[in-house]
Amino acid sequence: MTQYMIGKVLQGRYQIVQNLGAGVFGQTYIAVDIDHPENPKCVVKQLKVTGSQPSYLDTLRLRFLTETETLKQLGHHNQIPELLACFEEDERFYLVQEFIEGHALTAELPMGQQWGSLWSESEVIQFLNDVLEILQFVHSQGVIHCDIKPENLIRRACDRKLVLIDFGSIQPVDFGVDAALPIYRLPVTSLGYIPPEQFISQAQPNSDIYSLGMIAIQGLTGLAPLQLKIDPYTNDIFWRLNDTPVNDYLAAVLSQMIRYDHENRFGSAVEVLQVLKQMPLKESQVLDAEYTVSAGDNSQGRFKFIKSPSLVTGMRVGLAANSLVMGLGVYSLANNSPAYSETEALYKATEQYQAGNLEGAIALARSIKPNSSVYSEAQATIGEWRQQWQLAAQRYQAVEKANSENRWVDVLRTAAQVPDILYWQSKTDKLAKSARANLEVQSKDLLAKAYQRAGEKDFSTALNYLQQIPQESSSKTIVQQKLTEYNQKQQIRAAYFVQKAYNKAAEGDFDGAVEFLQQVPQDTPIYAQAQAKLIEYTQKQRLQADKTPNDDSRRSQLPQDEKVATSPIAKAMWTNSFIHSKTTTKLDNFQPGNYMQEVNIR
């Protein structure tokens, strides 16, 4: 399914160019907005649908539409990606969000005290202030992020600010009776950053504070959360090592952020921000702070601040790991991250492919090493590229041939079948644009001829012109209307000719009768009956030429139906009955007499 999506255009606008990865509840892609003059990048999230029952889809659809309104509000913050679009296509739900150019915070964190340098106190404080201000806004909107981790914090390239991505604001589904969060369904990268209460679906606003504190500690120590030891009695985390360069005040702040029991943590992002603002500028001022530190409890102090229960009231929990909506942001890793070159190489290869450099794209994709996480995707993509490229070239040649032969309809129909490759589509689009202009000129000419012949009461020729106008024409609506109108008028005119033939035959004027019958169009329901009478009247016409009897004896020789037809009342009844029984078009509201006058002007 992933490879099938590469190159696909959603909503006639968002063309998928790269796979970013899958989560428990969806797949994330990079796309380009081909409807925009500059073709900017964006992120497309395809939500996983696990059922096909109408009731399930209706429930999912309602939740999707409701929760995306919250996501739109969150996107108003400068450090949260903007939600560009949300839609349903082929019973699948999609979210489109702005692409954040930058790198993940993982590229800045020290790994095992070996890769990168440990963060300084000032860097930790700056980091906390930056993210806490975002969380303050998020929580004010009634949403708890519930998946704060380095991968979801992006250092934006343009201004170096951190951007929070990957929101999950829809309530969890299909998690059993106890509504607990199974560990096996969590993204691996989330483990260690998720606080205990989230595993039993009891996330609080300060659950995000716990995750943020764990990231800050990782920056200070170089140890990932799962590498830290846990106190077997309190379940609190031992993190402050002897050589950790941090003062007691900041250490106490971080320790209270990651308390095991959420009731012992800071209650809100606002509280943490206030404490950080009160932080002494010099080490000698630390003793002025209202907390106690004991060497025996690993310097895990307890601040005495009153929590604000109003900040908790009305909060809605959205576990990103259990959510229907996730992956709303995206990043490209920094150059010093090993995954960057591999992911970026595949993306660059896709750009080359879309730009028309197939061999260059394949060469880039092949440069990805077998031990890369995107290696299998790159290999599969190469095969698909070759196949799609060959098909696109063949279709383009067919478009060129049709264009040289002035077969405008074939140009448009074949151009629509060209695979989603920007290089080939741009080439075919030029020919298709020219073909459409020529088609419109041709269609207008045929429509004008149809009008002219209909004015001359030659509805058969008018209909023939209309039938030559293709469905691709912008005039197709008026063409359908005129086809119906002219068919009706042609059938009534045919009935009129047959009636006149009967009248002429009743008067013994078989020459006149034959002349009227010969005007009955072949593609009318009454044509077969007119032909039978034409044969009969032609024979009588010959007999009449051989012998001319008196009027009375001639009338006595007329067929019974023609005798009846000589009566004015019978004529009207016959005409009305014929129209209702013989024509294929419903004429219940017709006034046959009026149409007889209209079609018999000439």
Give me the average pLDDT of each 10-residue run along the chain (602 residues).
75 90 72 91 83 71 72 88 89 89 89 68 95 93 86 92 75 34 50 85 88 95 88 86 80 94 93 89 42 38 39 36 33 34 74 87 88 80 89 93 92 87 87 90 91 89 90 85 89 89 90 91 89 90 72 50 42 44 39 39 34
Q: Are 110 and 259 contained in the same domain? A: yes
β-sheet with 41-47: strand ranges across: 9-10, 14-23, 26-33, 41-47, 92-98, 83-89
Q: Are 366 and 310 contained in the same domain? A: no
**Domain final residue pick, 292, 322, 352:** 322
Under 8 Å CB-to-CB from 597, ≥6 apart: which residues? Answer: none
Under 8 Å CB-to-CB from 388, ≥6 apart: which residues? Answer: 7, 419, 421
Q: What angle do helix axes 422-455 and 408-415 make, rounded to 10 degrees?
A: 140
Count Cβ atoms within 10 A of the Cβ of residue 284 and give its class: 0-12 exposed, 13-18 middle, 19 or more buried. exposed
In a domain, 20, yes or no: no
- Cα separation of 149 and 162, whole Å? 12
Q: Are 457 and 491 contained in the same domain? A: no
Residue 120 contacts residue 349 (beta carbons within 8 Å): no
176: domain CATH number is: 1.10.510.10
Residue 206 contacts residue 266 (beta carbons within 8 Å): yes
Task: Report pLDDT for 275.
Answer: 93
In a domain, 430, yes or no: yes
b/e burial code for range 451-463 (CB count within 10 A of at least 16 → b): eebbeebbbbbbb
Q: Identify each DSSP E strand in 219-335 by its residue range.
A: 229-230, 237-238, 316-317
Catalytic residues: 147
Q: Which positions make up the binding site?
A: 45
Task: Report pLDDT for 330.
Answer: 30
**Domain final residue pick, 474, 502, 534:** 474
HSE toward the beta carbon, residue 536, CA cutoff 13 A? 16
pLDDT digits (tens, 9 = 90+) for 135-157: 999 888 888 888 899 989 999 99
Q: Are 315 and 189 contained in the same domain? A: yes
β-sheet with 153-156: strand ranges across: 102-104, 153-156, 162-164
**φ, ψ of residue 92 in degrees (nearest 5):** -125, 150
In a domain, 22, yes or no: no
In a domain, 43, yes or no: no
Q: Are 275 and 131 contained in the same domain? A: yes
Task: Report pLDDT for 143.
Answer: 84
> Structural domain tally of the chain?
3
Q: Are 270 and 356 contained in the same domain? A: no
In a domain, 505, yes or no: yes
Q: Are 171 and 311 contained in the same domain? A: yes
Report the candidate in 152, 164, 158, 176 with the shortest Cα–Cα distance to residue 23: 152
HSE toward the beta carbon, residue 238, CA cutoff 13 A? 11
Report the candidate in 57, 45, 125 with the shortest Cα–Cα distance to residue 90: 57
Q: Are 361 and 428 contained in the same domain? A: yes
In a domain, 68, yes or no: no
Q: Are 547 and 448 contained in the same domain? A: no
Task: Report pLDDT for 300.
Answer: 42
Q: Are 269 and 362 contained in the same domain? A: no
Residue 197 contacts residue 312 (beta carbons within 8 Å): no
- Cα separation of 132 and 274, whole Å? 11
b/e burial code for range 334-368 (CB count within 10 A of at least 16 → b): beebebbbbbbbbbbbbbbbbeeebeebbebbeeb
In a domain, 228, yes or no: yes
**φ, ψ of residue 9 in degrees (nearest 5):** -110, 120
Q: Which positions make up the binding site for ATP?
A: 45
Q: Are 257 and 129 contained in the same domain? A: yes
Residue 391: domain span: 342-474
**pTM greater than the 0.75 cutoff:** no
In a domain, 95, yes or no: no
- Cα separation of 260 and 263, whole Å? 9
Q: Are 262 and 410 contained in the same domain? A: no
Under 8 Å CB-to-CB from 64, ≥6 apart: which residues? Answer: 47, 86, 88, 93, 170, 324, 325
